[in-house]
Chains A and B, each alone.
Chain A
Amino acid sequence: KQEVTQIPAALSVPEGENLVLNCSFTDSAIYNLQWFRQDPGKGLTSLLLIQSSQREQTSGRLNASLDKSSGRSTLYIAASQPGDSATYLCAISGGGADGLTFGKGTHLIIQP
């Protein structure tokens, strides 16, 4: 059974800093990995999707990497802004009908 862990659970940094969020998973037989953003009480916004054959994906100030052999992914946020404050969730797809397996998320606060 796939298990996903996100570290740290919470993070507070001053505006402008670069930061890294971590995601680890127990089963390397994944189809893809998605990073999501969730604002309080809201749905999930997809940030980046990495297929199992890929090593990284970039979108604007965001860069996500994937190392299947070590069961790790990182989300790098450059030049953080107060608007980046949200909970960031990592989710694994096995490619079948078992849905996504999520971590508990990292609650990020960017101080102005």
Chain B
Amino acid sequence: ETGVTQSPTHLIKTRGQQVTLRCSSQSGHNTVSWYQQALGQGPQFIFQYYREEENGRGNFPPRFSGLQFPNYSSELNVNALELDDSALYLCASSFRGRSYEQYFGPGTRLTVT
């Protein structure tokens, strides 16, 4: 059973650009969630996908969007990047219907200049 993986590890973008971050969930998990963690803060919930549909969102604007694919992979897309989007982005997978225990990937460090 493989763990949760994310790519890329680090990314540098310019304000106004668009970025796509990728996540591969643990095999068999039907739910993926994305979190944003600013320096010195706890992770903040962005949104959750279940069976390829968004079914929950935190306090993030629509320029944060996502996709979930049948092969356990998912994407986080951020349009019109702002300086405050600089953060560690974490994805977590779980199996809805069991313990809801979430398993996190290593994260992608995004720097917006």
Contact, CB under 8 Å: A102 / B42: yes
Q: A104 to B41, Cβ gap below 8 A?
A: yes
Within 8 A of B (CB), among A38-60: 41-46, 49, 51
A97: chain B residues at CB < 8 Å are 48, 50, 55-56
B70 on interface, CB distance cutoff 8 Å: no
> How far is the CB of B84 from the nearest CB of chain A, in Å?
17
**Whole-angstrom CA separation of A89 from B35 in the bound complex:** 14
Shortest beta-carbon distance from A9 to chain B in Å: 9
**Contacts known (A101-B45, A104-B42); A96 close to B102, Cβ less than 8 A:** no
**B42 pairs with A105, CB closer than 8 A:** yes
Q: Among B44, B48, B90, B100, which residue has its beta carbon within 8 angstroms of that of A43?
A: B90
Interface residues on chain B, number (Cβ under 8 Å): 30
CA–CA, A104 and B90, complex, Å: 15
Interface string of A81-112 (1 = CB under 8 A from B): 00000000101010111111111110000000
Chain A interface, number of residues (Cβ within 8 angstroms): 27
The reply on B66 being an interface residue by CB < 8 A is no
Among B4, B88, B100, contact of A95 (Cβ-Cβ < 8 Å): B100
A25 at the interface (CB under 8 A from B): no
Task: Determine which residue in B4, B41, B42, B92 has the highest number of CB atoms from chain A within 10 A of its CB, and name it.
Answer: B42
Is B101 a contact of A49 with CB atoms below 8 Å?
yes
CB distance from A39 to the nearest CB of B (A): 10
CB of B40 within 8 Å of the partner chain: yes
Q: Is the CB of B106 within 8 A of A43?
A: yes
Q: Does A63 contact B (CB under 8 A)?
A: no
Report the 3 A-B pairs with minimum CB-CB distance, sorted nearest first.
A97-B56, A99-B45, A102-B42
**Segment 53-71 of B: residues with Cβ below 8 Å from A:** 55-56, 58
Across-interface contacts of B47 in A (CB, < 8 A): 99
Which residues does chain B contribute within 8 Å of A46, judged by CB atoms? 101-104
